[in-house]
Copies of this chain bind each other. A is one copy, B any other.
Amino acid sequence: MVWAEGLIAVDWGTTNRRGYAVDADGAMTAEMEDGQGILAVPPGGFPDAVRALRERLGDAPLLMAGMVGSNRGWEEARYVPCPAGLGDLAGHLRWVAPDIAIVPGVSFSDAGRADVMRGEEVQILGAYAAGMIAADATICHPGTHNKWVRLEGGRIASFRTIMTGEIFNLLREHSILADLLEAPAEAGAAFEAGVRHGLEHDDLTAELFAVRARSLLGKARREDAPSYASGLLIGTDIRIGLRDAGEGEIAVMGRPELTGLFAAALKVADRDAREIDGEAAFLAGIRALAELIE
């Protein structure tokens, strides 16, 4: 197998998947995204699901990351413990066919904590491999489950997951706040007020209800509720995440609509933030891993 002649990179999550064809020069030549996350694949259905990917993206070897390697995915690629660098990931690929491998996730535990990630590790170590972040860095990776990551010597040394995105989605879709939170959250005065509350107070589960009460009592504008609630959750997230962060700039990595909100919130916290596109980092990580396979 000749990975250097090109490959297909797949970020295969719980509810979505993204695939990219990458040529011998490392350039992306085709991409696709659909709702065929691992929960949409029937038992034994992964070979067929990959055939559909290949029809769109070609016959190159396939390197996959994300929940496809979880115990609900194709085959389980067991977590590599921290500290974990690209070499550690490459040494523990799970081969499901001679030309198809799954990148393992990363785990962290110490006396008090335990944590896991799947998918973000490729972006983070890819960003380092491509020179987008330094060997020693603090990364904030927002998503359904935000990850605060310490990179030391180019390896993931420790990290902490905060369920900020999922909690916001639960509130928006299923809670008593649902009708208040329909509009999109955006940076601005209401968002910053929420961030500030989250940074300065540790009463998230009380303050969320106050969003509703203020609206009922005419003490806040109804249209500010989504941005305030989003800011409140993100400010709370940053208050927790910054405890383990080093000095200096925070690299905020992921989808631009999320990194923009977190970068705005970090500014309220007087921290420098630099946004990094998660897709570019993912492709850099997959290419760097492919080089290590040979």
Using CB atoms and an 8 Å cutoff, list the residues of chain A in contact with chain B: 71, 79, 107, 109, 113-116, 144-145, 160-164, 166-167, 170-171, 173-176, 202-206, 208-210, 212-214, 216-217, 219-220, 233, 236-237, 239-240
Contact = CB atoms under 8 A, between A and B. Distances in A.
Contacts of A216: 71, 79, 107, 116
B163 A205 contact: yes
Contacts of A173: 174
A115 B213 contact: yes
Count identical subunits in the complex. 2
Q: Which of A144, A163, A219, A236 counts the most chain B CB atoms within 10 A?
A: A163
Given A175-B170, A176-B166, A114 B219 contact: yes
A253 B183 CA distance: 37
21 contacts: A107-B217, A109-B217, A114-B213, A116-B212, A116-B213, A116-B216, A144-B176, A145-B176, A161-B213, A163-B175, A163-B205, A163-B208, A163-B209, A164-B205, A167-B167, A167-B205, A170-B170, A170-B171, A170-B174, A173-B174, A204-B205
A3 to B, nearest CB: 30
A195 to B, nearest CB: 15
Which 7 pairs across A and B sit closest by C-beta, in order of nearness?
Answer: A202-B202, A114-B214, A114-B213, A161-B209, A170-B170, A162-B206, A116-B213
Contact of A205 (B71, B107, B203, B236): B236
Contacts of A176: 144-145, 166
Contacts of A107: 213, 216-217
A58 to B, nearest CB: 33
A161 B206 contact: yes
Contacts of A204: 204-205
B217 A114 contact: yes
A236 B79 CA distance: 30
Given A170-B175, A217-B79, A240-B203, A145 B115 contact: no
Contact of A240 (B79, B175, B206): B206
Contacts of A116: 212-213, 216-217
A6 B209 CA distance: 37
Nearest to A115: B213
Contact of A145 (B113, B167, B209, B217): B209
Given A114-B214, A174-B170, A209-B163, A109 B240 contact: no
A213 B163 CA distance: 12
Given A109-B217, A114-B217, A217-B114, A206 B160 contact: yes
A208 B113 CA distance: 11
